[in-house]
Every structure is written in structure tokens, then in C-alpha cells.
Structure 1
Amino acid sequence: MTRVLVDLLFFTGRKGGMESYAREIYSRLAADDPELEYVAFASSELAVQGAPWFPGRVIDSGVSGEDRIAWARGELFAVSRAARRLGAHVVHCPANFGPLRSRVPVVLTVHDLLAFRHPEYVPGAYSRVLRTMIRAAARTARRILTVSAASRDDIVEFLGVPAGRVVVTPLAGSAPSAVEPIPRRPAQLLAVGNRMPHKGFETLLDALARIEPAHRPTLVITGSHGDDPLAPVVERLGLGGHVDLRRWLRPDELDRLYAESTALVFPTRFEGFGLPPLEAMSRGCPVIVSDIPVLHEVAGDAAVYVDPADPDAIARAIRAVLDSPAERERMSRAGLARAAAFSWERTAAATRAALLGAASVPVTEP
């Protein structure tokens, strides 16, 4: 029996796509697998919350995933120590970071290289720390998984990893939680994401302000923690009656918004994959997304593409989609078909194969 230690130090319930990735994959791996046994090395937050989706033991690391210093030390040193102590044969680090050194083979999932491709979007000192930690984890890893061809190319370019060591395992949309259909609101846009500058929400608000008030839709923006930095922008642009700033939502709350919104607008400047458009498409919600390569990987011909730096172009795309029920119906059908091409089951199976393959090759700690 091969024992897999899964590094869940990052998992606090507030990390978005990387948590969805871990939860969706491990909920599809069997607790009674005849070849693999799974042990989670969990953050103190996850240990309290519980992880009924995880197919094995959950061990409280005593490390807070919200304390950046404690978390970084845990990634660099505690994970490898726990792997040796627990007799693990392979470690899976599913969220960009992992041990500085490890006698146990490591499979690392790298979601994106934002701090390398666009360091201007990450606070200075923190950006340097992220780059250092990701480089160290990549050097240690026996195999690297990533979520898109665009991220694979960045890994090869910035980390110097041979392309043959990188396996693309795309994300997928989760199943809708609502049993009964939810009617769509006639003019409600949805935007989803954290408040990092590359998400493009200020440009989106600028675009909304350029739509004449009589035709201006309501915009719901989720993903805030605490005081929302977009609130002053909304006030300055006079959009208080048209913008609803929401906190970080539970999956069922977000699911309802996908189902009832007229369209998702995703004006990001950079993504490793772009899960919100796929989630929206899987619920029949039309998507307006940035014209960047990775989103073409995700949305194909189901989306309307816009320049994320051009508020006038975003405003025109919003009006065009809102004004055409026939186009929305076409986009909804195309989105459902596109989303069906992605499968968490395939991603989980590819991850399992990578773990087994890495465990079969012993490594020596540098």
C-alpha cells in the first residue's frame, strides 16, 4: 500500500480556486483504494472545519494557513518532516508550494506563476518570497502538475523545468447544487474573484459607468474580505445603486448567483486557468471574458472576448449581450457543451496516476 501525504496547510476555507481543486479531486478518490492510502496534513483551520470530502485521515498540523510566516515555515520544513514521521511514500502539494527538501518523492501542482509573469500585481516583498518558495518547490518535485497549457509554458520558461516533467490536468466545473431551476434576472451581471489588481474589477466598474443609466445593469461582485477596496471606486463613479459588493460566498450561495445572473463578466489580466467562467458555463450562464490565451483554452467559442484594459470595449460587449436574447441563448447552449468537455473524474484519475508513478521512484535528499 502506497501512503500519500497531502499537504493541506493552505486550506482555510478562504482560498478560492486552489481549495476547489483539492476538494474536487480528493472527493473523487476512493478511501478504499487498494493501492493508495491518503493522509491529509491540514491547517489548524481545516482541522476545526473538518474535511468530510477527504478520503482518509486528517491530521492537525497545528499550523495556521492564515498566518503567512507560520504557513511558509510549515511548507518549507514541516511537510517533509511529517512525511518521514508518518511513513509516507509520496507527498502531494496541491497549491503551488512545497518542501525545500524532501527524502520522500513530491508531486507539486502549480496553478499559476503570477509572481513571475506579472510581479507588478503582487506586493514587492511578498512577490520575492513567493518566487523563492515556488522555485524551491519545483526543484524538489519529482513531477509537476498544472492546470493549463498556458501555465505549463510559464513553468518551462520561468522555472526551467523540462516540458516532459509537466503534466497538464485541467480543472472542471462543479455540479450545480440547486435541484429546481432558478429564473434568470433580466439585467444582473456577476463578477467573481479576490481583490488583487489583476482581476480587473476597477476597469469593469469604469465600463459599467460608461453605460447610460437607463440601460445600466446591476453588477454583483463577490469575493471581498473585510473592508472592500472597491467601495470607494463605486462611490467615486456614482454607481451605488447599480453595484452590490458581496463578501466571500459559500459554494451554494455562489451557485445561486451563477444560476440567476444574466451573464458573468471576467475582466482578468492573468489567470492560471480561470475557473469562474467554467463554473458559469456549466450552469448555462453566458460569459464575457478577457481575450487572453488561457481563457480561450477554457471557454473556446462559447464566450465573448474583450480587451481587459479597454472599458469601452467591455461596456459594448455587456450591452451587446444584454440586448440580444438570441445571443444569450446561443452562448448558454455553447457554454453547457464546452463545460461538459471538462471532467474532475479525469483530473482525479490523472493525479492518482502521477502519485503512483512518483512513489515508484525513490529520491535522495540533497
Structure 2
Amino acid sequence: MPLHIAVDLVFFTGRKGGSESYVRGMFPAMAAAHDDLRFVGIGNRELAENPPDWFPGEIVPLPVSGENRVTWALAEAFAVAVQARRIKADLLHCPSNFGPSVRLLPTLVSILDVLPIKHPEWVPGGRARGVQLLSRATARAATRIHTISEASADDIVKLLGRPRSDIDMIYLGADPVDLPPRAERTGRPYVLAGGNRMPHKNHARLLEAWTLIPEVERPRLVVTGSHGDDPLTPLVRQLGLEDDVELRGWVTAEELAGLYEGASAFAFPTLFEGFGLPVVEAMVRGCPVIGSDLPVLREVGGDDMVYVDPYDTRSIADAVRRVVSDPALRESLSAAGLKCATRFTWQRTADAHAEVYREMVRNR
């Protein structure tokens, strides 16, 4: 008999980075390999009006907008579980940090990181206290918690109080995107960077590091990931980097894959991550990675990337100069990264989730 899994997609807008990459990558792999599982998405109005082709089931709408953080957060706290029980789901999976405040059916919540608890100073708009309350209520009510690295599992135990035995650690994945053959690189080399513009992504120090690279050696810096007017624009002007930095904004998965392939390196001087999916996305395209010396990135990238002190602009600048100027090093990092990335596929992620789903339903 098939298992009926309700999936909370109220948060989904198509422009939220890692959590959306997770559901877009995993659920097609899940549907392709696990025909005993049936999925229904519980979505916002916009998602129901334009159902995504990657989700293997119908979308049942709630009367909330994915663009309104307050309403969809409240929907996740209360209405999603009610809807899941109404459609007689065997299990509810909430894949983006938040879920019901009361358990009405077996519920798996994916807590991708604990940034609002560990670093409330980085939560914008004065929302830290409210987000912390929702995070703690979610962690208490969840039947089980999924997270995406051992570093994040340790944080959940310490900061949210759930025992390690209640936590399933399953890595995220990345699969190559089919692209036309890459043309020979010509012109000025570039380094790629990305991510939202929250403070922990550390774009300001990255830009400041660029000013420490002598102009004759300075590659272009292409930065993706913003919507509308980019808040980095004033700093680019202030630092006199208008000819060196391109703020590309939001790009499609295909465009991003092409940018990885053409880049001399990917720079990721982040201050905090739950996993560091862009590291794997770069590696799977053969792009050398320069990233922060954090436990979670060591867990994911091992010895196959160049590490920097993310608080030290000179450390960042020196690493960029070293990688961009050394073809042999880039070739070595590219080959090592491609091998490292084979540990992280969406099919592995999906298979591990399927086992968690089945075990939770057996034990309900």
C-alpha cells in the first residue's frame, strides 16, 4: 500500500536559494526511484496557480501568499498540519526550517541551520525574536528532525534541545546540468560569488578583499543572488570597483551552471552555513572553490578546496590571487572537487529520505 506524504511548500517562491534547491533537486529523484510513495504539496496561492514541473504530485493551496513572510510562517505553524490531516496524509514533511507548533500527525521537519538562534544579529528586519519562537516551537513539536550536516546536528542538540537520536543527518546533493560544450575561455578571467545579501554571506569583506589585489592581477568578480536593486551597489561604487565587479542578480540554474563552468574559481567567504550547497554545486561543474575555514565546510569540502579566514580580507585576497594565477593548482582543485562531489547526489538524498519516511510511518 502506498504511503501518502504531504509536503509543506507554503514557503516556496522560486527565489529563496538553498531550501528551494533542496526540494527541486530531491523530489524528482524521489519520484523516479520510490513508487511506493505518493506526494501532495501544500502550497501558497502563487504555487497552486503555477504548479512546478519538478514536484511529483498535486498542489493543495492555502489562502496565503509566499511573498508574505508573516502569513506563510503562521500557516506553517498551524494550517499546514490541519490540511495534511484533512487530506489523510500518513506523514507531513516540512523541508524549510519551520513546521507545526502542535503535532497532529507524524511530522519530519528539515532544520537546515540554526542561524536565527545562534546569530540573531544577522536576522534582518527585527524578526529575530519571532523567528526564534517559531524555531523552538517547531523543534518541540516535530516527530523527527532532519538536518544537513553533522555540524548542524550538533547545533540543534545544543541550541534546540533535541537529543541526537531524534535527528536524521542527510546531506544535500547537486547534479550536473546539461549544457552545450564549453567554449574556450577568452578575455579577462572572473571569479564567481553568490548568495543572498544577508550579513553572514560576507560580501562586504569579499569586495574589500578585491581592492587588495593589484589591478594588473585583479580578475573580475561576478556576484549572483540578489533581487531588484542590489544593496551591494553603493559599496562597489565607494570602493571604486565599478570596472571590476558585476552584480548579476538572480540567475536560472542553467545560467548559474554556465557561470561555474566559465569561472576561474568560486569564492565563498561565508561566516555561517548549515551545509554549504554552493560548494558542491561549484565542484560538480569542475570549478575550483575558495571557501571559509569553518567546520561545516571542512566536513563537506575536505581537502579539496582552498580555505581562508573569512574575517581577514588579506587572507581572502591572497587565496584568490594564488588560485587565479596558477593553472596547475586550478586543474588539481577542479579534479579533486569533481571527485568530492560524487559523495553528494540528489538520488542519495532522496533514498535516505525515503527510508526515514517509511520508518516514521512504521513507528507512528
- State if a TM-score over 0.5 links the two structures: yes
| Worse-matched range after superposition: 110-119 or 169-178 | 169-178
CA distance in 2, matches of 1:64, 1:174: 30
Residue 174 of structure 2 is aligned to residue 173 of structure 1: yes
CA contact (8 A) 1:144 1:166 kept: yes
Cα deviations by residue, 1:334-366 (Å, 9 ceiling, x for unpaired): 00000012121111011111112222333xxxx
Partner of 2:86: 85
CA contact (8 A) 2:305 2:333 kept: yes
CA drift at 1:56: 1.6
Residue 117 of structure 2 is aligned to residue 123 of structure 1: no
Partner of 1:320: 322
Cα deviations by residue, 1:198-242 (Å, 9 ceiling, x for unpaired): 101000000001111111110000011111111010001000000
CA contact (8 A) 2:175 2:345 kept: no
Letter in 1 for 2:59: V
CA drift at 1:124: 6.5
CA distance in 2, matches of 1:143, 1:357: 11
CA distance in 2, matches of 1:116, 1:152: 14
CA distance in 2, matches of 1:261, 1:32: 34
For residue 191 of structure 2, the aligned residue among 189, 192, 216 is 189
Partner of 1:39: 40
Equivalent residues in 2 for 1:1-366 (5 A)?
1-30=2-31, 33-123=34-124, 125-184=126-185, 187-362=189-364
CA contact (8 A) 1:144 1:165 kept: yes
Change (3 A) 1:320 1:31: closer
Letter in 1 for 2:316: I
Give the alignment's TM-score, normalised by structure 2.
Answer: 0.96
CA drift at 1:32: 9.0
CA distance in 2, matches of 1:230, 1:319: 22
Change (3 A) 1:32 1:278: closer
Letter in 2 for 1:359: V
Return 5+ residue gaps in structure 1 as ranges.
Answer: none
Return 5+ residue gaps in structure 2 as ranges.
Answer: none
Letter in 1 for 2:196: N
CA drift at 1:184: 4.0
CA drift at 1:192: 0.9
Letter in 1 for 2:26: I
CA drift at 1:169: 0.5
| Worse-matched range after superposition: 54-63 or 100-109 | 54-63
RMSD: 1.4
Letter in 2 for 1:160: G
CA contact (8 A) 1:183 1:259 kept: no
CA distance in 2, matches of 1:31, 1:301: 33
Letter in 2 for 1:301: D
CA drift at 1:6: 0.3
Letter in 1 for 2:123: V
Identity %: 48
Letter in 2 for 1:221: V
CA distance in 1, matches of 2:45, 2:68: 11
Change (3 A) 1:80 1:315: same
| Worse-matched range after superposition: 145-154 or 40-49 | 40-49
Give the alignment's TM-score, normalised by structure 1.
Answer: 0.96
